[in-house]
Structure 1
Amino acid sequence: MPEAVERRAGSRRRRIPPHRYEEAVANAQRVIAAWIEQAEAMGRPIPDPKGRVMSA
């Protein structure tokens, strides 16, 4: 399991527990998959990925 991820919020730093980070990544992946599915259903082009793809 990954260590807690440090995020900077304003002038304070806080640590995000690994389970929250993993949950956020999983939610983002579900949203992306749903967007692609809907775009395909509507006949819209799916853009090629840009930049570096990161996985959790």
Structure 2
Amino acid sequence: MELFEEHDAACSERVLPDDTVSIQRLGASAPGPASMEKFGLTVGNVVAKAKALG
């Protein structure tokens, strides 16, 4: 990790682009698969995000 942090922001962005698939809130109460679907944490969405990164 230390070597990664020594590089400039442009290099870091190429290696780990600043995009995420995440949940920005708490409080949903449902079985895991239903919650994942509700928040867009699906295989299709993750694949689409990854492909968009280039």
| TM-score relative to the length of structure 2 | 0.27
Greater helix share, structure number: 2
